[in-house]
A and B are shown apart, each in its own frame.
Chain A
Amino acid sequence: NAGVTQTPKFQVLKTGQSMTLQCAQDMNHNSMYWYRQDPGMGLRLIYYSASEGTTDKGEVPNGYNVSRLNKREFSLRLESAAPSQTSVYFCASSATPSSGNTIYFGEGSWLTVV
């Protein structure tokens, strides 16, 4: 009953370091998403993958890259971390990218860039 699993849960990076957030879902969903959540800003879409083999930019893609490794896994990479990327990151998935499909979220990854 795992749903959407993301790692790591907490990470502290120095400015300029790189890291990858991992995400996996076990619901056989086609679509996966990465959001960031900042105080007072709600949830903003970074990148999404409508189906295996495709990725598209969301609202705030700058400074990030993604890889849809297979149907289950969708990773988010910060190549050169900046303090502005301090945030809580949520991976999510849905059956399809169609309107009305429930999006299921992971538990979040807390990232601090110093």
Chain B
Amino acid sequence: GENVEQHPSTLSVQEGDSAVIKCTYSDSASNYFPWYKQELGKGPQLIIDIRSNVGEKKDQRIAVTLNKTAKHFSLHITETQPEDSAVYFCAASMKSGAGSYQLTFGKGTKLSVIP
């Protein structure tokens, strides 16, 4: 099955600086890569996603890049703010044996933005 590695596990940045979280995946058949943000005591929420036919996608201060050859993708947050503090998860989607698609998640990165 798919295996998703995520680094770093914790990340502290000063407010206004950029934060980068990196993920690698093992199965070249994976074709959809979402990023989720989880605030304390809440469920994960999708913040951005990218499909395998696109190399980069940007939404305001958040961007995601994908390198299919190297099988890695990254989340970039610019001009970080205290409200960006949360746990971030990457995921990869691949076809399951039942014909549907399943997400495999990385283990998460706890981002702390220091005011």
How many chain B residues touch A (CB < 8 A): the figure is 31
Asked if residues A50 and B31 are in contact (CB atoms below 8 Å), the reply is no
Given A50-B100, A108-B42; A43-B105 close (CB under 8 Å): yes
Asked if residues A42 and B108 are in contact (CB atoms below 8 Å), the reply is yes
Which chain B residues lie closer than 8 Å to A103 at the CB level? 34, 46, 103
Given A50-B98, A105-B43; A100-B103 close (CB under 8 Å): no
Asked if residues B107 and A97 are in contact (CB atoms below 8 Å), the reply is no
Given A56-B98, A102-B34; A42-B49 close (CB under 8 Å): no
What interface size band does chain A fall in? 20 to 34
Contact among A50, A90, A97 for B44, CB-based, below 8 A:
A90
Which chain A residues lie closer than 8 Å to B45 at the CB level? 105
B39 to chain A minimum Cβ distance, whole angstroms, is 11
- Pick from B6, B31, B95, B107 the residue with the most CB of A within 10 Å: B107
A-B contact pairs, 14 of them (CB 8 A): A40-B107, A42-B89, A42-B107, A43-B105, A45-B103, A50-B99, A56-B96, A90-B43, A98-B100, A99-B32, A99-B94, A100-B32, A102-B49, A107-B43
